[in-house]
Amino acid sequence: MPHGFTLPDCTAVITGASSGLGAEFARQLAPQGRALLLAARRSDALEEVKMEMLALRPCLAVHCCVCDVASEAGRAHLLETVETLGLKPNLLINNAGMGDYGSFASGDTARLRAQIDINVTALMLLCHAFIPRLQASSEAPAAILNVSSLAGNVPMPDLAVYGATKAFVTSFSEALRIELLDRHIIVTAVCPGPTPTNFGKNARRPDGEDTNRSGQDLLRVPPQFVVGRALRALQQGEACVFPGLGVSLVAPLFRMMPRALLRRVLERRYRKDNS
Ligand SMILES: NC(=O)c1ccc[n+]([C@@H]2O[C@H](COP(=O)([O-])OP(=O)(O)OC[C@H]3O[C@@H](n4cnc5c(N)ncnc54)[C@H](OP(=O)(O)O)[C@@H]3O)[C@@H](O)[C@H]2O)c1
């Protein structure tokens, strides 16, 4: 890949832009972008983010699309909105996602399935739909930024489905990156560790445990840092980025560790946290 992605003047579609990392992507793109299309299900929260962006930079074009990206209809509405507004996106940020914290056996089937629908199916089909719509050339590559997770590197007890969806995101992104090189579309996966957003609150089951586990404090980095590092990775055309010193150190360790040893470590942690 000769160039990285150029942030100034970009037109970005951001899913899950109503809170957490998605809203922070909007915040950090606002000072330099041309247009932002913010997508999520909660219209009031999206409007708030839009107002904040316009206060930051009144000349920025900011649009909202209220949609559920997990549904066919929601994704169709997002694509229609791009067409109707006449947007020419050159950046897709697939950020919408959710977890479900607790044992697989006791999980609610709708929430178990929702993780696959949002984290996997929606992300994959939005990539498919946007590839022909992204404005890309050899001088000015387009980009797809997929929000994965450190959890994709580890088999995660009590987050088993979530971890597996993020393993999909990382693997899919790396393969897609190779396929799209000749189309001048950079694909980057960002794999954050624990980051304070609404993720933990939403992943928690009614009367269930918190997602905050032993060892997490060492890995926690603020959303501002995660997003800044992810956008720098796009500019440098990197394939996969693990924001934060702790996360960037443990990620390769998880990959290199013999699987049996990794399972033993995770089992000890699981027993300690559930005793
Ligand atoms: N926070 C962490 O510790 C952490 C670590 C690693 C990776 N991640 C990943 O980071 C991404 C962003 O999460 P976050 O931490 O910022 O959590 P968050 O604050 O809960 O934000 C999730 C966003 O996704 C949107 N969303 C959820 N389901 C949706 C759907 N069906 N259709 C459209 N939008 C939907 C939510 O908006 P609405 O509710 O308005 O739809 C919200 O804007 C996720 O992919 C998550 O897996 C988070």
Ligand 1 centre from 200 Cα, in Å? 10
Using alpha carbons, select from 103, 100, 233 the residue that is nearest to residue 165: 100
Indicate if the pLDDT at residue 2 is higher than 50.
Answer: no
**Stretch 194-222: mean pLDDT:** 87
List, edge to edge, every strand of the sheet that includes 185-190.
61-66, 35-40, 11-15, 91-94, 142-147, 185-190, 240-241
Quote the percentage of the chain above a pLDDT of 70. Answer: 98
Q: How confident is the model at residue 40 (pLDDT cuts 50, 70, 90)?
A: very high
| Residue 223 neighbours by CB distance under 10 Å | 22
Q: How confident is the model at residue 274 (pLDDT cuts 50, 70, 90)?
A: confident
Note the pLDDT of residue 265: 92
Question: Is any ligand 1 atom within 6 A of the Cβ of residue 173?
Answer: no
pLDDT tens digit string along 129-157?
A: 999 999 999 999 999 999 999 999 999 99
Indicate if the pLDDT at residue 47 is higher than 50.
Answer: yes
HSE-CB for 162 with a 13 A CA cutoff: 25
Domains of the chain, each with CATH number or no CATH? 11-273 (3.40.50.720)
How many whole angstroms separate alpha carbon 123 and alpha carbon 172?
Answer: 10
Using alpha carbons, select from 167, 174, 92, 158 the residue that is nearest to residue 125: 92
Question: Is any ligand 1 atom within 6 A of the Cβ of residue 78?
Answer: no
The average confidence (pLDDT) of the chain is 95
Give the lowest-confidence range in 33-47, 162-176, 256-270: 256-270
| Residue 260 neighbours by CB distance under 10 Å | 7
Indicate if the pLDDT at residue 56 is higher than 50.
Answer: yes
